[in-house]
Amino acid sequence: MTERANMVKVAANAMAMLMTLLLLGCATATPYQPQIAGQRVSGGFLEERIDATHYRVRFAGNSLTSRDTVEGYLLYRAAELTVQSGYDWFRITDHTTETERRSYVEHFPRYEPYYGSIYLNWRPHWRYYRSGVWSTWHPYGRDPFWSIDSTVRTVEQFEAEAEIVMRRGSKPADASRAFDAREVLADLGPTIKWPEDR
């Protein structure tokens, strides 16, 4: 291997490491925040007032936000709206959680000592389609019918929505899907992750 090729390899590895560190620093789950276009981390809550005591509340998470977190933040926002509007408890009349799944196929180049980096990993190869996936086979590979050069990654994003009815006074003991707003705020408050620039 020539000195120039070795320097190129070291520079490429350093650049890859730097990009990985930058991406890891930016990757964060959706904090508890309003959903506004152009914010640093995507997702957040939205609400729509239907009438004086009815709201439709939504919380959308990014691909790093779990379903439990999305539903917890939705419940927290409903409780927050209830207290801000001067009410004591709320009942969820309708609730849905949508899941968006996307799959990505990632291909990874491998270093093969037969050709080395001076030839930029060139080698004779053939592409074939099997079981819905394109794969590569080359005569110096390990297994001609199963490629280890690619991986499939599935990303999920969750969005929860609920319609709530707010009321004053004590929450009825027999009311189903009813919550005391101040209790919800006290119980879920310690689990809330706020935006860093708050």
Q: Is the pLDDT of residue 142 over 60?
A: no
Q: Is residue 176 part of a domain?
A: yes
Residues 159 and 92 in one domain: yes
For the entire predicted model, the pTM comes to 0.67
Distance CA 142, CA 131 (A): 20
Q: Is residue 164 part of a domain?
A: yes
76 close to 184: Cβ distance less than 8 angstroms: yes
Lowest mean pLDDT among 9-13, 25-29, 136-140, 147-151: 147-151
State which residues form the domain around 123.
Answer: 115-147
Residues 8 and 24 in one domain: yes
Q: Is 47 exposed, middle or buried (0-12, 13-18, 19+ CB in 10 A)?
A: middle
Q: Is the pLDDT of residue 197 over 90?
A: no
Residues 135 and 159 in one domain: no
pLDDT tens, position by position, 81-137 = 999 999 999 999 999 999 999 888 776 655 444 444 454 555 566 778 888 888 776
pLDDT tens, position by position, 47-56 = 999 999 999 9
Residues 86 and 168 in one domain: yes
CATH code for position 186: 3.30.1360
Q: Is residue 110 part of a domain?
A: no
Residues 22 and 40 in one domain: no
Report the number of distinct structural domains present in the chain: 3
Residues 87 and 157 in one domain: yes
Residues 130 and 162 in one domain: no
